[in-house]
Amino acid sequence: SQTIHQWPATLVQPVGSPLSLECTVEGTSNPNLYWYRQAAGRGLQLLFYSVGIGQISSEVPQNLSASRPQDRQFILSSKKLLLSDSGFYLCAWSVPPLGASDTQYFGPGTRLTVL
Amino acid sequence: AQSVTQLDSHVSVSEGTPVLLRCNYSSSYSPSLFWYVQHPNKGLQLLLKYTSAATLVKGINGFEAEFKKSETSFHLTKPSAHMSDAAEYFCVVRIYSSASKIIFGSGTRLSIRP
């Protein structure tokens, strides 16, 4: 069966510090991968998605970046965090090919607080 | 433009009574529609999805939703609420072939009174 992991589960970082959140998927090959951010009291915002190694599509201009160094690894990064980067970050995967009926399977999330 | 509107930010019902969570969408294309549930500090779990087959969709935990094109609605219902249903619920619209067209509603928090 497929599982998706995210770490760390919680993170408190000062403004201006770097960020690296990791997501890995087990039990499937070449998944579509997604990063979302959920701000307090709001819905989810798609940040990045990837259909393959090294292929990243950005949905929202911001100081975050994403990378996919391996087939089942998706990393969210920042060189300098802003206060507005605080939120709940969710990684998700879906079965390729990309399509409207894809079911997305979500990881447990990372709670990021920037102080 | 595509959009999703969840009409109620908070719904409170008594245990054993029906649940209705409302969702309206706007789309220029034939969308796929999803309902996800999120328990506190957890990831999202798929409840059900509509992908142009039967308009009445049955999901997990006794939930179902009906796609009504004329009303552009996809409301989530359950005949009898259980305490474990207390969570945040998200309606999602997705447009064919473009991952960038994934739009989440702002969520509805469901509270269950004993």
- Which tokens is B27 given? 């789309």
Separation in Å, CA of B34 to nearest CA in chain A: 8
Domain that holds residue B9: 3-113
Provide the pLDDT for residue B42: 79
* Residue in the block written with tokens 């960020």: A19
Residue bearing the bigger pLDDT, B41 or B26? B26
Every domain of chain A and the residues it spans: 3-114
* Residue in the block written with tokens 């995967």: A93
Q: Enter the DSSP assignment of B52.
A: S
> Can you give the CATH number for the domain in which B67 is found?
2.60.40.10
Q: Enter the DSSP assignment of B80.
A: S
Q: What is the pLDDT of residues B77-96, one digit of tens each?
A: 999 999 999 999 999 988 76
Cross-chain Cβ contact B41/A57 below 8 Å? no
Which amino acid is located at B30 in the chain?
Answer: S
Q: How far, in Å, are A5, A63, A71, B3 from residue A37 at the CA level?
A: 16, 13, 22, 18
Which amino acid is located at B60 in the chain?
Answer: I
Q: How far, in Å, are A22, A33, A106 from residue A70 at the CA level?
A: 12, 11, 19
Q: What is the pLDDT of residues A18-65, one digit of tens each?
A: 999 999 999 988 999 999 998 876 778 889 999 899 999 888 867 899
Q: Which residues of B touch A108 (CB under 8 A)?
A: 42-43
| CA nearest to A97 within chain B | B97
Provide the pLDDT for residue A102: 77
Domain A3-114 annotated CATH 1.20.1630.10: no
Which band of pLDDT confidence, cut at 50, 70 and 90, is reported for residue B48? Answer: very high
Strand partners, B17: none
Count of domains forming chain B: 1
Cross-chain Cβ contact B51/A100 below 8 Å? yes
